[in-house]
Amino acid sequence: MSEDQDKYIAEVVEKALRGDMDAINNIEDRVTRSKAKAALIKAKRLSKTAAAEAAPAEETAQTDTTPTEKSLNQKVAESLEKKFSGSIDSEDVNEHIQLNGKNWFEIAQYLKDNPDLLFDSLQCITGFDFGEGEALEVRYNLHSMTHYHAIEIRIKTDRNDPKVPSVEQVWRIGDWFERETYDMYGIVFEGHHNMTRILCPEDWEGWPLRKDYETQETYHGIIVPKVKEGWE
Amino acid sequence: MTVDNLINWFPFGAEWPVITFVSAVLICAIPVFLFIAVYALVAIYGELKISSFMQDKVGPMGQGVGLHAGKWGLLQPVADALKLILKEDIIPESADKKLFILAPFVVFVGAFITFAALPFSQEIIVADMNIGVFYILAVSSLGVIGIILAGWSSNNKWSLYGAMRSAAQIVSYEIPAGLSIITIVMLTGTLSMQGIIISQQGIIWGFLPNWIIFNNPFSFIAFFIFFISGVAECNRTPFDIPEAESELVAGAYTEYSGMRYAFFFLSEYANMFVVSGVAVAAFLGGWNSPIPGFMDSPPWGLFWFIGKSMSLIFLMIWFRWTFPRLRVDQLMSVCWKVFLPVSFVNIFGVGIWNLLVG
Amino acid sequence: MGIVHGDLMTLNIGPQHPSTHGVLRLKVKTDGEIISEVEPYIGYLHRCFEKHCENVTYDQVIPYTDRCDYIASMNNNFGYAVAVEELMKIKVPERVEYIRVIVAELNRIASHLLALGTFGLDVGAFTPFLYMFRDRERILDIFEVLCGARLLYNYIWVGGVSHDFPKEFVKIVYSFLDYFEPKIKEYNEILTYNKIFIERTADVGVMPPEVAISYGVSGPNLRGSGVQWDIRKNETYSIYEKFDFDIPVGSGIMGTVGDCWDRYYVRMQEMPQSAKIIRQALKAIPEGNVHQALPKKIRPPKGFIYKRTESPRGDLAYYIVSDGSPIPFRLKMRSPAFTALSVLGEISQGWMMSDVIAILGSLDIVLGEIDR
């Protein structure tokens, strides 16, 4: 997508938000029009949720001031901050712990071996795409078979050069999960012994689960059928 | 019906000895071939029906109008045979053509010529050789060459696996089988099949027929060693590791189809009959009636021999549909670590028994 | 003379092979019969399940989950429905919960029957396979009565189920259980305690608990290694806390803990437990409306959820990210068979050709779920 087009869409959305829907409806190119509409919906939703979220956020802030016990996430975050300072990205650790990918391998080793945590089972690695032009993310769901507790760890990575340290040596299942994530998102796991596609054919082009994925025209002379638009 | 009788019966035997001999052999071979073909159809039908009853299903059934498998599915084996004959015969491009074509015949011939020494009744035997037992043991191991040929010439890794397993298995199991037969030879003092059977007439221990299996405890064990080894030589479950459809697809026969495959199939069933027949002749009194003196005439002999063999074949079918398959090393260790020592002990035991009791 | 070491031969087991349980290719390096390296190649059944899900509404995802693990579709529906309901924070009527547990446990029995039967087939026993299929057929008949489909049910929906039980259904299930429970003895007699079967499976393909956990193996395979872990008990969902049932674990009766026989036997023991759950559920099932909580349009609030459930193959988890629209923003399925297959290369090294087939059979994989 060109920058001109971006600007144009932004302009049109701006107009539409002020009530001038014709600006969008008059766009001739079908693709640009649908993109503009999507952007409009997004913008509307953002303004709505911003208003809606303000209220519950205050509520949770109130309940959080009183708790007597620290949640597991906070415990993990604190111990990580102590041992690997500067590795946690976000202050908010209620639902998940956001790491920046530095020392991830050592952190993983620590999470697995620390007797209080003992996250000996990597349940799932989920690749995640925030949308066109935005960052990619890897989400790890860890679980301890001894303490029966679980956390979620997220690592953001750059879209154009996605790289995350591999943890296949810590949890052996990381091998296949990382290959799957690489296959679908193109996120390279550094240190993996065999970073190849696992589900798609080896010579497949593109990263299918990225939001801006476009299927190739032909594959070995076979025409790849296009995905029909939308679910409606 | 022996070849010798035929040769003597021909009026021009003296003038053209070669022609006489060849025609006598051919005259004997045709009924044997027909017998194998008919028996195979019966055995296949039996296998289908017996397995069906064991597995809680009905098996081939004739129902409704139009093309169907006859009453109770009786025509099913005929249909199977027709299918195999009419099927396209495929020879893989990278196969060794000559050996590939030769292999099924070698296997079938190995099974077929063994029938020459099988005593069907007092009078029906193709050739009552004085070394009949020896002949059967020698000739029945020819089949393994055919299987190796098939596995090698198919140029397929699965076939090669199957052939190698088959060779190792058949060669190993010949030994306990042969050693068990030696106990018979020690007891009867003859290598002739008819001689062995004749020595089993009468009654032993007061009420049992004078069969070698009941003669002494060692020959009783020898029968089971021989029969199990025989099942292994036929490549039947639980010893079907050369075919092992869940591992090796179809082992040595993977690349074969149509008529050539049918030959392997036929020789497997023929081998089953040979093993059962030898076991019956050597241990179970051959064509002798189970109750001495009752229905003991020559025509009944044929009935007893085939009847006894068929019961052993039923036993094999029963094995097949009950047991899982052994692994190749377990198969070998059963042979070399269990059957072989026991067979040796048997030979000693029979010898001592002969000295003390017999 | 020492041992002769020749070159290794590379052998392709599959993609078309009688014992790969689907379209799977194992690249195997062999030294004669001995296997020195197994590398599974998957993806032949890849249908972009996750990409599909990003293009359909939440309720339209359910038929896709059917097609992932086509042996235990009910459990897949169940897991998905539970995850979305938790994301939406809706509570389903009591009757729906009972119905779900009953059908899920029935499907667990059906799935285990198939797993055990094909495992028997892999080691060469043909008859037990047909016995087990005969009984699985009855469960499929029950499902046909229930929802018209025999394999891909699309029965458990978000907030409810598609139909209530038909008339007499409870009676049919009871009669099935009365018929089925004595059959376990028959299976044990013909297969479990067969000498050859024990020879073939005991001590073979031992999976130590550390290896199993490190590879994320779950379900009966993990329990076969002696680890007591069942999501129905340890992280209970739906109404499983109301039922009384045991979790069988492998104890190495015939060989080492975690061998093929243990994995087999854990499944065998789980079937009566499932039957026990069904009996309790049938007794206690309340009356009620099964569509009460069914939302018209499913629009979960913004957020994410990682929800695990116990499918017959292990921890089946859905990771769902919602952006507030009627379409999932991201849906990831954590497939238990995927992790189970990844351990194959590790535990089958040094075993023989036939053992690899047996180990693969004992892991009970479904390729539809691995490739998704």
User: pLDDT by residue (tens digit) across C349-370?
Assistant: 888 888 888 898 888 888 888 8
The greatest distance separating any two alpha carbons of chain C, rounded to the nearest whole angstrom, comes to: 79
The type of residue at C165 is F
Q: Among candidates B252, B256, B230, B233, which has minimal Cα distance to B243?
A: B252
Q: Which residues of C touch A226 (CB under 8 A)?
A: none
Q: Does C7 touch chain B (CB under 8 A)?
A: no
Q: Does C190 touch chain B (CB under 8 A)?
A: yes
Q: What is the pLDDT of residue C111?
A: 92
Average pLDDT, chain B: 84
Q: Where are the alpha helices (DSSP H) in C12-167?
A: 49-53, 61-68, 73-88, 94-122, 127-147
- What whole-number percentage of chain C has pLDDT above 70? 98
Residue C89 lies in a domain: yes
Domain encompassing residue C204: 9-371
ipTM over 0.90: no
Q: How far apart are CA C268 and CA C132, in angstroms?
A: 11
The pLDDT of residue A52 is above 60:
no
Average pLDDT over residues C135-152: 89
Please compute the mean of the pLDDT values over residues B205-217 and round it to a whole number: 80
Q: Are residues B21 and B111 in the same domain?
A: no
What's the total number of domains in chain C? 1
State the first-to-last Cα distance of chain A, in angstroms, to the nearest integer.
25
Q: Which chains touch B (3 or more CB pairs under 8 A)?
A: C
For residue C22, being part of any structural domain is answered with yes
Tell me whether residue B72 is exposed, middle or buried, using C-beta atoms within 10 angstroms of its C-beta: 0 to 12, 13 to 18, 19 or more.
middle
Which tokens sit at A218?
A: 């032909």
Q: Which residues of A touch C (CB under 8 A)?
A: 45, 49, 95, 120-124, 126-129, 139, 141, 145, 148, 150, 152, 171-173, 175-177, 180, 184, 197-201, 208-209, 227, 230-231
Name B339's Cβ contacts closer than 8 Å, sequence gap at least 6.
B173, B176, B225, B228, B229
**Beta-bridge partners for C319:** C306, C332
Same domain, B81 and B188: no
In whole angstroms, give the CA distance from residue B133 to residue B117. Answer: 8
B187 and B273 share one domain: yes
**Cβ atoms of C100 and C161 closer than 8 Å:** yes
Is A60's pLDDT higher than 60?
no
What percent of chain B is modeled with pLDDT above 90?
Answer: 4
Inter-chain touch B247–C354, beta carbons under 8 Å? yes
- For residue B227, the one-letter residue type is F
Residue C2 lies in a domain: no
Question: Please, what is the average pLDDT of chain C?
Answer: 87
Domain contains C285: yes
pLDDT band at C30 (very low <50, low <70, confident <90, very high): confident
pLDDT given at position B141: 81
CB nearest C196 (choices: B161, B324, B328):
B324
Q: In this predicted structure, what is the pLDDT of residue A34?
A: 63
Which carries the bigger pLDDT value, residue A55 or residue B203?
Answer: B203
Does one domain contain both B67 and B133?
no
Give the number of B-C residue pairs with CB atoms closer than 8 Å.
76
> Per residue in C160-194, pLDDT tens?
888 888 888 888 899 999 999 888 988 888 888 88
Q: How many CB atoms lie within 10 A of CB C171?
A: 10
Distance of CA B117 to the CA centre of its chain: 12
Contact C269, C263 (CB under 8 A): no
User: Distance between CA atoms of C166 and C154, rounded to whole angstroms?
Assistant: 16
Single out the residue of C163, C155, C162, C158 nearest to residue C86, CA to CA. C158
The shortest C-alpha distance from C56 to chain A (Å) reads: 5
**pLDDT at residue A56 greater than cutoff 50:** no
- CB-nearest to C200 from B55, B161, B327 is B327
* Parent domain of B164: 91-356
Q: Which residue of C has its CA nearest to A207?
A: C51
Cα-to-chain-centroid distance, residue C308: 13
Q: Which of B241, B321, B326 sits opposite C126 (nearest CB)?
A: B321
Report whether C360 contacts C21 (CB < 8 A).
Answer: yes
- Write out chain B residues lying below 8 Å of C194, CB-based: 323-324
Chain B residue whose CA is closest to C21: B246
Report the candidate in C220, C180, C126, C200 with the shortest Cα–Cα distance to residue C353.
Answer: C200
In this structure, the answer to whether residues B346 and B300 fall within a common structural domain is yes
Q: How far apart are the first and last CA of chain B?
A: 34
* pLDDT tens digits, C317-329: 999 988 888 888 8
Q: Which of A128, A209, A231 sits opposite C51 (nearest CB)?
A: A209
- For residue C3, is it within any domain? no
The CA distance from A15 to the nearest CA of chain C, in Å, is 24
Per residue in C240-266, pLDDT tens?
888 888 888 888 888 888 888 988 999
pLDDT at B247: 78
Chain A residues with CB-CB distance to C330 below 8 A: 126, 128-129
- The answer to whether the CB atoms of B157 and C197 lie below 8 A apart is no
A72-219 CATH? 3.30.460.80
pTM, full prediction: 0.82
- Residue C224 domain-assigned? yes
Which residue ranges make up each domain of chain A? Answer: 3-65, 72-219
As a whole number, mean pLDDT of residues B112-132 equals 82
Domain count, chain B: 2
Answer yes or no: is pLDDT of A170 > 70: yes
Q: Which of A37-51, A102-116, B198-212, B295-309 has the lowest mean pLDDT?
A: A37-51
Instruction: Identify the pLDDT of residue B33.
Output: 86
Q: What mean pLDDT is predicted for residues B18-32?
A: 80
Report the pLDDT value the prediction gives residue A173, as an integer from 0 to 100. Answer: 87
Residues in C closer than 8 angstroms to A121, CB to CB, are 213-214, 216
Is residue B173 scored above 80 in pLDDT? yes
DSSP label at residue C188 = I
User: Residue B235's closest CA among B281, B283, B269, B278?
Assistant: B269
Q: What pLDDT sits at residue C112? A: 92
CA distance B16 to chain C (A): 55
Instruction: Decide if C50 touches A, using CB distance below 8 A.
Output: yes
Which of B71, B86, B101 is the endpoint of a domain?
Answer: B86
Domain co-membership, B203 together with B259: yes
Task: Verify cis geometry, omega within 30 degrees of 0, for the bond prior to C248.
Answer: no
CATH number of the domain that residue C169 is part of: 1.10.645.10
Contact list in C for residue A208 (CB cut-off 8 A) is 48, 51
Is it the case that residue A2 has pLDDT exceeding 70?
no
pLDDT number for residue C110: 92
Q: Does pLDDT of B298 surpass 80?
A: no
The pLDDT score that the predictor gives to residue C140 is: 92
Task: Tell me if B166 sits within 8 A of B242, measured CB to CB.
Answer: yes
How many other C-beta atoms are found inside a 10 Å radius of the C-beta of residue B325? 28
Dihedral sign for Cα atoms in the order A152, A157, A159, A164: negative
Which segment of B5-19, B250-264, C240-254 scores lowest on mean pLDDT?
B5-19
Quote the mean pLDDT of chain A: 74
- Contacts of residue A148 in chain C, CB cutoff 8 Å? 234-235
Give C327's contacts in chain A (Cβ within 8 Å): 231
**C279-320, pLDDT tens digit by residue?**
999 888 888 887 877 777 888 888 888 888 988 988 889 999
